[in-house]
Amino acid sequence: MADDNTSVHNPHDRFFKSLMHNRETAIAFLEEFLPDEVKEVLDLQSLELANTTFLTDELKQYFSDIVFKLKMRGTEDSSFLSLLVEHKSNPGEYVEFQLMGYTANGYLTQLKEDKPLQIIIPFVYYHGREKWRLKPLSEYFGQYPASLRRFVPEFDKIFISLFDVSPEHIEQLTDAMLQAALTVQRRRYDPFELIRTWMDILNSMSSYSKYGNFLATISVYCISIIDLPPEVFRAEIAKYSGQKNSTAMSTYDQLIEKGKIEGKIEGKIEGKIEVVLNAYANGLSIQLIANITGMEEAEVVGILEKHERV
């Protein structure tokens, strides 16, 4: 399976966005990776989803975003924190200009809505293993003298590269879902290691009912990105005995049956409707169904309402 999927529905972005919709896990992520000087000012416990996006149609080919609102400590003034997931696992140049466009569009959106301006803090999460960094825009104009480079706009941003975070750092994270999610994303390039990790996660977390939806989500994610022939996949899962084997195989069989793994329903609304209705009838949450199908939650709700299921 190609890993440089730029679609807004690519599984890595969809999985991470689903994770960040859990408020406790989002707070744990920001607590761990925000700079100290930012955490000193923002009240992380005030975090809430802003239910907006600052992406234009053009920018959607580069990023997914999750926009949070956070109050400053001791005040009622809020800021936007935009968590942007870079689509490509090997980004090219000029991403900084796309990021500038995103931030500018965020401020223009606020002006159009005639609302008091709030600061936008861009936070880029990069999950690829190729070395990459964001650089100041002025570095693109090194051939120009400083007297002209001063006209190049500069703005700060937060950047985290998953593969710059050591396995030891991830292991000491106290939020179990965050630790598990970052671990599988980091190990996704080796399908056999990923299967072993996935089985370990099922084994350690399946006894806690509060992780039910998360385990279903992480199983869908692992199955969708493991590029192995079905017989090899089944043989690897069969090495692990007990409930985790049964859960993994059941999820795999369900996805095979619905044609998800083979891509039979990709882009076919009839197939997605069937998946939505069957998944909801089997007790899956709307958020999880959206994650499986690559649809927006509002689209899932619309299908359920049209077929009088809600």
Summarised one tens digit per residue, pLDDT across range 100-119 is: 999 999 999 999 998 889 99
Does the pLDDT value for residue 254 go beyond 80? no
Residue 260, in any domain of the structure = no
Per-residue pLDDT, 244: 59
Residues 6+ apart with CB under 8 A from 73: 40, 41, 42, 43
Note whether residue 265 is domain-resident.
Answer: no
What are the tens digits of pLDDT across the range 70-88? 999 999 899 999 999 986 6
Q: Which two tokens stand for residue 142?
A: 């090194």
Query: What pTM did the predictor assign?
Result: 0.79
Which token pair is 204? 């350690």
Measure CA of the first residue to CA of the last residue in the chain; give whole Å: 36
Q: Which of 157-182 are b and which e, b meaning 16 or more Cβ less than 10 Å from the residue's Cβ? A: bbbbbbeeeeeeebeebebbbbbbbb
pLDDT band of 259, cuts 50, 70, 90: low
Are 32 and 56 in contact by the 8 Å Cβ rule? The answer is: no
Q: Is residue 65 part of a domain?
A: yes
Q: What is the mean pLDDT of residues 1-10?
A: 46
Share of the chain above pLDDT 90, in %: 49
| pLDDT of 264 | 41
Q: How far apart are CA 129 and CA 113, in angstroms?
A: 39
Q: How many helices (H) and strands (E) does the chain have?
A: 14, 5
What band does 305 get if pLDDT is binned at 50, 70 and 90?
confident
pLDDT over threshold 70, residue 298: yes
Residue 25 in any domain: the answer is: yes
Residues 138-168 pLDDT 10s: 999 999 999 999 999 999 999 999 999 999 9
Distance between CA atoms of 87 and 234, rounded to whole angstroms?
30
Q: Does residue 21 belong to any structural domain of this protein? A: yes
Q: Which of 65-69, 131-135, 273-277, 283-287 has the highest mean pLDDT?
A: 65-69
Residue 158 DSSP label: E
Length of the chain: 310
242 closest CA partner among 210, 212, 209, 202: 202
For tokens 């600052």, the residue is 54
| 67 domain-assigned | yes
Tens of pLDDT along 183-218?
Answer: 999 999 999 999 999 999 998 998 888 998 899 889
* Residue 125 placed within a domain: yes
What is the tally of structural domains in the chain? 1
Q: What is the span of the domain harbouring residue 41?
A: 1-174
108 domain residue, yes or no: yes
CB of 71 closer than 8 Å to CB of 43: yes
* More confident: 261 or 48: 48
Compute the Cα dihedral for 121, 122, 126, 131 and give only its sign: negative
Confidence at 172, pLDDT banded by 50, 70, 90: very high
